[in-house]
Amino acid sequence: MEFKAREIAEILKGTVDGDPEATVTTFARIESGKKGAISFFANPKYEHYVYKCKSSIILVNKTFEPKEPVSATMIRVEDAYSAVAALLDYVTARKRSYRRYRGCRSRVRWSAKLGKKVYVGDFAYIGKNAQIGECTKIYEGAYIGDDVKIGSYCIIYPGVRIYPGMVIGDRVIIHANAVIGADGFGFAPLEDGTWKKIEHTGNVIIDDDVEIGANTCVDKSQMGSTVVKRGTKLDNLCQVAHNVEVGPNTVMAAMSGIAGSSKVGEHCIIGGQVGIAGHLTVADNTSFGAQAGLISNVKQPGQSYFGTPAIPYMEYMRSYAAFKKAGKK
């Protein structure tokens, strides 16, 4: 890539503060900037790096007022963090090419239907009656089962396993070794102390614009569907159990799990290693701190929960203060 400051400002609808002809060819973190790179400043605790950063261009918020001279050209935008994400998307889209390709060592069953410019890598398998939308990439070694439906402009990375009958929307990204549609963890205890497997006959529905991290598992339902709704982002090593519903635009950090039949609202933030027990309901805009463990419903939207069992933030802080005080006796 090669962009001038004025070009970037036009793309991001920002304004240039400095040399409009300043040119960049790469991205760099603000603490390790170098000539020819573009960095961004969004977190106040990194402000001291702005004054010594060697990057040619720095994206800053429009409200930023420097306390010292800044050698780099600044591009002022509404939100620097969102702006750098938009710029990365723009650059990636320019590099991305769509072409029809089928690896000679792949296997596509004759009844599968592939849209225009679908990429199928070597050793990938696409089952009977599967449907793949246009410009989707199925990378090497991926498994797409019978009757699977995958939308357009998706990316299915190497080693992904999508079980038969699963439904994937448009612009979905599934990272390496994720498993979509394995059986849920359902067993009935018998009188002799053994466990009888409960068959799972449902499926998984992944809506548009979802991203699923590496080694994450989304299990199919006993009946009906496990649903991950539009715009949701799941990190690596997450577990979404059978019959769960995850609301739109929710984010879930690594090593978190949602047990069976729970329903998580929209715009929720689930920190790392959070556990949500089964058959619970979580209100919209709920946040969970890392390692929180939820065992009861969250009815009021917009609250933050910490600890195990998870309780509202202010209640947690009062309890923590009392705990610290008791430890000093």
Q: Is 200 a catalytic residue?
A: no
Q: Are 116 and 135 spatial neighbours (Cβ–Cβ below 8 Å)?
A: yes
Number of other CB atoms surrounding residue 54 within 10 Å: 15
Of 48, 175, 200, 242, which is the active-site residue?
A: 242
What one-letter code names the amino acid at 252? M
- SS3 of residue 193 by DSSP: coil
- SS3 of residue 312 by DSSP: strand
Question: For residues 38, 42, 46 and 52, what is the CA-based torsion angle, rounded to 10 degrees?
Answer: 30
> Residue 126 is encoded by which pair of tokens?
């696409």
Find the helix packing angle between 5-12 and 80-95, rounded to 10°: 100
- Please give the DSSP secondary-structure letter assigned to residue 153: S
What one-letter code names the amino acid at 165? G
What is d(CA 253, CA 274) in angstroms, rounded to the nearest whole number? 8
Decide the pairing of beta strands 195-197 and 187-189: antiparallel
Could you give the residue numbers annotated as active site?
242
